[in-house]
Chain A
């Protein structure tokens, strides 16, 4: 599975998204599920799935699906 597909699954699982949400264009606080509580669960789920550890600054800056994907690429996760 591609990085984007895996990340999309993590978002859907961690934030319990409905099928009609446009996950790849999602931004922090766009929807109720991605609030500060959802963010904690999401960060932990991404770390588990990709076996990475984000630093504090990255957690604060993870403001969209796209940013999260770019951070993973920056940490060496393959496409």
Chain B
């Protein structure tokens, strides 16, 4: 069953009921969360998605927020962001740990189907060789491994491009559909550049990539340019960027087949807020991205204000129903701080 089927009005009705219940669930089980909401005078029922109380995503770096007892903690995910303040700590119980790969699977099935394809990983083979010490990046790569078979790595143990490995992969599997995964900047530097230099044919590939554009914007490559040059120079046209974060593990916002718009699976949504008034922005006007998902039950991460800027391009008017949006970059730090200070004050 597709998670990209319901139009916006229908999904909002379903989501609002679920998220209202989730908010009560977390208030009952996560004392600091309840304290924050109480100090803000948050009600228990909400007229719209935009009325749901959000937490700034960085609160998971400064506070231990969980809605499960200590003895039910199965796994703690950690990640450091790019802007200091330490690492987020995300607590999962067994159920949460089992749900998140399933929902990621349901989302990606839309573009990959159920069959596992031969898979080229645009990352270092060191990720599986040094298994006791892998990074957040390694965990991301391994989480994607389930979607493919016969995995081949495009970089050797010393993080150098392994052109022979890529060529060997393409000789063996390149005449049928194959899957490529990597972080956006790595894909550009270690797949695009290498493929162009060696005239590799990637036209049967399906590329899934994520991780932000900061390094590529510096060399003037944005999403549209990324797609255009991959198509022109390597034949690769089936390209799907996604946006997601560890604080909402299992939820990804996926680029549609026509490119340049991200879509929300039905268990998730986004709201763009004005950074001065925090009101919801209309379609077409940029602001701060709030991400909403029904997956987080073991920690209060169901409604999060990110530190990213984005814009909604349209609603129910694209490849799939719902909102379609783009991520425009990071929020300047001063603005984000203003907001989380309010919340730190409430918790202290």
Contacts and interface: CB of A to CB of B under 8 A. Distances in A.
B128 A55 contact: no
B137 interface: no
A39 B128 CA distance: 11
Given A55-B115, A60-B146, A63-B98, A40 B105 contact: no
Given A44-B149, A53-B116, 7 more contacts: A36-B139, A53-B149, A55-B114, A56-B108, A56-B146, A57-B114, A60-B102
Interface in B89-109: 98, 101-102, 105, 108-109
Interface of A: 35-37, 39-40, 44, 47, 53-57, 59-61, 63
Nearest to B132: A32
B333 interface: no
B147 interface: yes
Interface string B112-128: 10111000000000001
Given A35-B131, A37-B128, A56 B142 contact: no
B98 to A, nearest CB: 7
10 contacts: A36-B142, A40-B142, A53-B149, A55-B115, A55-B116, A56-B114, A56-B115, A57-B102, A60-B101, A63-B98
A44 B98 CA distance: 21
A63 B98 CA distance: 9
Nearest to A40: B145
Contacts of A36: 139, 142-143, 145
Given A35-B131, A37-B131, A63-B98, A56 B143 contact: no
Contact-residue size bin, chain B (C-beta under 8 Å from the other chain): 20 to 34
B227 interface: no
A56 B116 contact: yes
A26 B128 CA distance: 22
B113 to A, nearest CB: 9
Contacts of B101: 60
Contacts of A63: 98
B11 interface: no
Nearest to B74: A29
B44 to A, nearest CB: 35
A57 B105 contact: yes
Closest 4 pairs (CB-CB, A-B): A36-B142, A55-B114, A37-B131, A59-B146
B313 interface: no
B105 A56 contact: yes
B116 A40 contact: no
Nearest to B129: A37
A9 B134 CA distance: 28
A74 B108 CA distance: 24
B151 interface: yes
A36 B115 CA distance: 19
A75 B77 CA distance: 35
B128 A40 contact: yes
A5 B139 CA distance: 32
Interface string B175-206: 00000000000000000000000000000000
Given A37-B142, A40-B145, A55-B115, A60 B128 contact: no
Nearest to B128: A37
Nearest to A33: B131
